[in-house]
Each structure stands twice: as structure tokens, then as C-alpha cells.
Structure 1
Amino acid sequence: MSEQPAGHRQDKAGFTDAMFRRAVVDAAVRAPKEPPRRLMPGRRWVRLLEHLLLLAMTVGFTGGSIAIPVNLFDPTPHPTVALLLAVPQAVPLLLASRWPLAAWRISALGMLAGALVLRGAYFWPWPVTSWLAFVVICFFTALGYERSVAVGVGVLTIGGLIVPAVVVSGMPDWFGLILAGIVLLALSFGDAVGGRYTAELSLAEQEALRRRDLARQARLEERARIARELHDVVAHHMSVIAMQAEAAPYKIPDLPDAAKDTFALVRDAARDALTETRRVVGLLRAEDEGPERRPQPGLERLEDLVAGARQAGLTVDVVIVGVPRPVAAGVDLSAYRIVQESLSNAARYAPGSHVRVEVRYGPAALAVTVTDDGPRTAPAEPGGGHGLVGMRERATMLGGALSAGPAEPAGWTVTAELPYGGA
């Protein structure tokens, strides 16, 4: 086996010597590249509760860090010395939530100063309240940053704080091991909590990307479906153009040759356009999907939709507002599909509800509104909302708009505005 190069030996945890050195430098002096993770991100009242809790702990730990040395240590330090040591040891706890690494650096320096100044005055050189504040700061540091920073903090705490306290102040070795274990436990717990938060955040981002991809896929599929459905409409008009251009020379006597040539060009262009349209729409069909043989539906089949919805358990009322008028085939088809999808959603998510379908013939646009009053029985599991994506695509295609949302006092409403002339 070949030896690894010096400086790149790797331990069982996967850390090399260079990574350990970098971790120590990150913990000691290097500024963090990213803001720290927070323990309780989100609502303002939760953050306020966190700050109040840290404030109360800081006040209590600072007071204890002053009183304990003055009353228990021998020789007793001057109150001013106890105050000067307590402030850097415990007060940084206030910063632990927002700037945990800076809080740890200040507190560690204060703890090291205490080990040097109060050596031999007690069983160990720190008040228990200062140590508790330091442990909480270690937890927030591991929570807020990468694992490498937590490793650096652990190495510096044990090697640069606990070991000097054992050597200089006479603290027993076994007690130093206990303190080291407490520090490692706090760092491990903080790293676990921070890792879980990071994993949850990553999962949430992946889920958002997945929903975005699904919505995009649904949008593309719906556009392809709209194109296939409108093919019949376009094909009908192009066929009429081709037939009329073909018949024109026979209907109009003594037609000039130039006009006959023009009609021939119109006929050939219409046939070519019809052929290309069929070829493109054929590419949009699935491999196992054949061409549609039936004519595309419209609002004249609205009663059939309502009858099917009633069989599914809905109570449906249809209201026609205004004077019905002929509308473009695309508008007619889109209005039918919007009502169809809305009734399907009502049957699935609001079973047994009362549904009101309103078709309003306005001066410039056809308005379709479908409203239910909420489920009477347990609805199905929530879906991805892709039906709304398809309805919006249809409305947008015609230069219209579609809105959907909760109805008052209960239920759901869908409203579409479809301009007669398109856009």
C-alpha cells in the first residue's frame, strides 16, 4: 500500500490534516461566508421569544458569574475583577443567536482569561454559570455553521481552553475529560439540529422545484391538447377556403386569367397550410393516441355536462345572463372546457356540494363563473392544481383572464373572461 502524502492523512471520519487546520482557522479568525442558520426561523413572535429567553439567561448567568467567585473562591477576587471576567464570559450569550461564532470567540477568550487569573482559587477556574453560558454558545455555533466550523470550535475549546486550565489552574484531569465531553455533546447536538434544518430546507427547495416542473409540464401538455383540439377548427376554415377558391372560377363567368391564377394560388396555399397543420398536430399526439373523429364540443353541450355532474352527486344550477350569441369556435370550446374542468374539480374536492354555473354574454367578452359551496362529505386528497393551469392557458390563449380562489362563506369559485374576438 502506498502512503498518503504528508499533510493529507485522513482519519476514519473523513477529515484530512489540511481540513483540520482549515477548520481551526475558520473557527479562530476567518469570517463566515454565509449568515448562520437560526434555531427558530419564521414567525416574528417566535424570534422574539428566543431573544427574551437568551436575555433572561444572560442576565442570570452574568450575575452568577460575578457572585460565585466573590462568595466561593479562595482567595476571593476583587468584585471588579469578577465583573471584568463575567462580562466576556457570559454576556456574549446575547449574540449567540445572530452571531454565534463571534460570541464563541469572545466567550472563549474570557474563559481563558479566567483560567489564568483565577487559577488555584477553586476546584476549577470558572463559575458554573459562565460554563453554562459557554456551552449554550457552543450549541448555537454548531447549529449556525458547517460541521467543519464545529470541529474547529471543538479542537480549540479542548486544546486551547480545557487543557491549559488543567495544566495551569490545577483542575483534575478526569474533570477536564468531563468538560470536554460536555462541549462535544453540545457541539454534536447543535450540528444535528442544524443538519436537520438544512435537510428540511433542501427538501422544501426540491419540492418547490418539483412542483414548478410539474406545473410547467402540465402547461406544456395543456398547450399541446389545446393545439390538437383547435386543429379541427382551423382545418374546417382552411378547407372552406380551399373549396371556395376551387369553385370560384366555375361560379363567376368570364373570370380573367389573372383572377383564376389568384384563386389557384389561394387554393394551393390553403391546402399546403392544412397539410402542414395536420403534420404538426400529429407530432403533438402521443404514440398511442389517434386523431379525434368527433367534432369539438361547445356550450351547446352544456346540459350534457350538467347531467354528468348531477350523476356524480352534485346539485347544479345553470344561469344564462344576457342574450346568447354566436361566438368563435375557440371561445366556445374554451368555455366548455373550463366548465368541464370546474365541475370535475367540484365533484372531486367538494362532493355533494351545490354548484352554480353562470354564463354571461357581455358586450365584449363571454364570462364563465362556476362556484360551489363546499363539500358535504370528505373530499379526495388535494391534487397538484394542474387543472387550473390548463384553464389559465385557455383563457390566456384567447387574450382573456382566469381567476380562482376560495368563495365566501365556503367553497371555491372559478371566473373566466373570454374576449369574443381573441387577441
Structure 2
Amino acid sequence: MRRAIRVARQARAAARTPGRARLWFDVATVVVVGTLFAVGWPTLHLTHQVPAAAQPFIAALAVFPLALIRVNPALGWSISAGAALLIALAIQHQPGNDLPYQVVHILVLFALLFAVAVRAPMQIVLIAWIASSLLFATTMAGTSSFAEAGFGWPLAMTGLVGFGLLVRWLVLSRQALVRQEEQNELERARRAILEEKTRIARDLHDVVAHHMSMVVVQAQTAPYRVPDVSEAARAEFDSIGASAREALNEIRSMLGVLRSDGQLPEHAPQPVAADVVSVLDGVRRAGVRIDWTIDGPLAAVPDTVGLALYRIVQESLSNVSRHAPGAAVTVTVTVAAQVVEVLIANDAGTGGAPVVSSDGSGISGMRARAESIGGMLAAGPRSEGGFQVYARLPIPVAEGTVETPAATALPGARN
């Protein structure tokens, strides 16, 4: 969840950054245009024979197209190139000046052609490159030995456009990398949210389903455990059991929406292995005939393994209550140096075998818990009747690795 909030903040910051960059670029463009105009207007009479009243307009025609360099560089280049051709053909330059238009006009043309190469569609880039080469090759002919070579200005235009295309490729590559990183960050945030939803859904299922199952068992067995129960009280207990079963089904449907498609391991487990005893005591108080044996210190079991052990025992006992009411249950927990083994077995009750729900609950959910820490789980009917669940959960060794034992098959087990 924190990662999702961080991604949203980064997205808002990224949205503000281009706006600021455009603002500063526009300010710089205005400053440059103003500076070029301030240089071009006073010096125009030195290079061209222009009436004083027309000089600011000619200077503006040469410089002001640069203001379009960010908004529409192709349009700015078209205006600037057309103005250059018009000035070269219609305005006589001063004796001793071989340039058909001012240096500031040439700089504006270069800047706009570069911007076209960086930002405009490739068809426009091709047209601008050819037109600029022809413009300079014809209007600047004879101005220098470089121009007299015939290929000098087209070569210069080619180099300028090539450099612009290189910058274009670098910018596009950078933008693609930024977009990919944003997508990766969003995907990581999405997975973090799904992981949290999965953890919440699984814990809700395990806790709520277990206690609701105990309500059903207590309601069903109360008429037999409490002496002198009237018919009205018996009917009330039946109603309580039916309502609890209906609520349990609705909770499962709700959790099916909350649960993600993947079975992801928890990162903040709450119950530990020692809490298994409280589950066993609670089941016995609910009227279930249960015996258990715990061989080894539960306190020595790591929290992650203890959480899986707790949930497997809890879900297995809930399945017994739902599908085999009245059955006797035996739970055996063995804690060794590198592994924890648990066996939950019940004799035949009035119900059938546990149902494996399609949303990952039940046996498949327990198996996912065991496999998420490198263990295994097998469940199936017993040859003498009833059902059993066996899980083998490895304890991480001192070096931090996990030893994954081979699966132990049960008669008729489903893996």
C-alpha cells in the first residue's frame, strides 16, 4: 500500500516537471528572440538597403519565427525559410556584403531546422532538409569557397539534420525507458496490493471460517450436551446453526472477490506455533471429541513455519466440523531439528470428505501455505474410514537455507 502511494506521488511530480520545463524553455525562447531582434534591427541597414521604416518589420520577419520552436517548429521553419528566400530575391544587400540575409536569420534557420529534425514527423524532416539544402545552395552561392564547392551547404544541412535525428533518438529512448520504469513500478505496486489483499483474505477465511464452524458445531451438539432442552430451544439451536452456515457461505463468497488470483506468502504473520494449543482447546470446548499429542518444543518453531502450522491445524479442524460432525479427531504434532510434522486424522462422521473449493480455500489453500515455505501437504481418506491431513514443514537451517524434504504419500491422498 505504501508503494502504491509512493507511485502516485511520483506520477504527480512527473506531471508537474514537464510543465515547469516548458515554462522555463518558453522564457528562454522569449529572451533569445528579443536579443536577436535587438541585434538584427539596428544592424539591418549595414547589410541591406532597407528604408528605416521597414527595418523593424524585416528584422521581425527574420527573427520572430523562432518563437514557434516549441509549439510548431515546422511552421516556424517554413516562415523563416520563406522570409529568407523573399529577402534574398527582393532586397538588395549593401556593397561589400555577400550574405543574402543577416547572420541572425541564418542562426534562426539553423535552430528551427534542428528542432524540426528532433520533433517533426520524418516526412517533414525530409522536406525541410531538402528545401534548406536547396535554399542555401542557391542563395548563398559564391559567398565563400565552402559554398562554391557545390556540396558545401547541402553537406552542412545534412550534418545538422543528422545531429538532430541523433538527439531525437536519444530523447525517444529515454522516454521509452522512463515509461517502462513507470509501468514496472505500477506493476510492483499492483502486486503489493494483491499480495496484501491475498493475506487479508486468507487470514479472514482461516479465522472467521474456523469460529463460524465452531458456532455451527456448538449449535448442532447443544441439544445433546445440555440436559432437558425443550423443543423450542432445539428449534432455536437449529436456526442458529442454519444462520451460521449461511453466513459462512456468504463470507466465503465475499472473500472470493477479495482474494487475488495468486497464492502469495504472508509477510506479517500473527499466530505462532504455540497458539495451536489454544485452537485445540477451543475445539474441545465446542464439543468435538479430540485428542492431541505434541512432541517437541513449539516455541522453537520460527514464526513463518508456526503460522503455516497454525493455519493448517485450524483449517483441518474446521473441515472436520463442517463435513464430519460428531467424528473423533486425533492431532499429532512433531517438532524436530529441521522439520515440523503434523497429522490431523478423524474417523467417519455423518458428512463426507472435505470439499476443495474453487477459490483456493480448504485443502488447496493449506497446500499453498505449506509449499510457500518449501514444505508439502497431502490429504485423503483413511483406509479404516474417515479422513486425514498430513503436512511436513521444513525449518530453515542455520545458514538461512531451507531444506525441502521429499513428499510422504498417504493412502488415497490428493496432492
Report the TM-score, using the length of structure 2 for normalisation: 0.48
Larger Rg: 2
Q: TM-score, normalised by structure 1?
A: 0.48
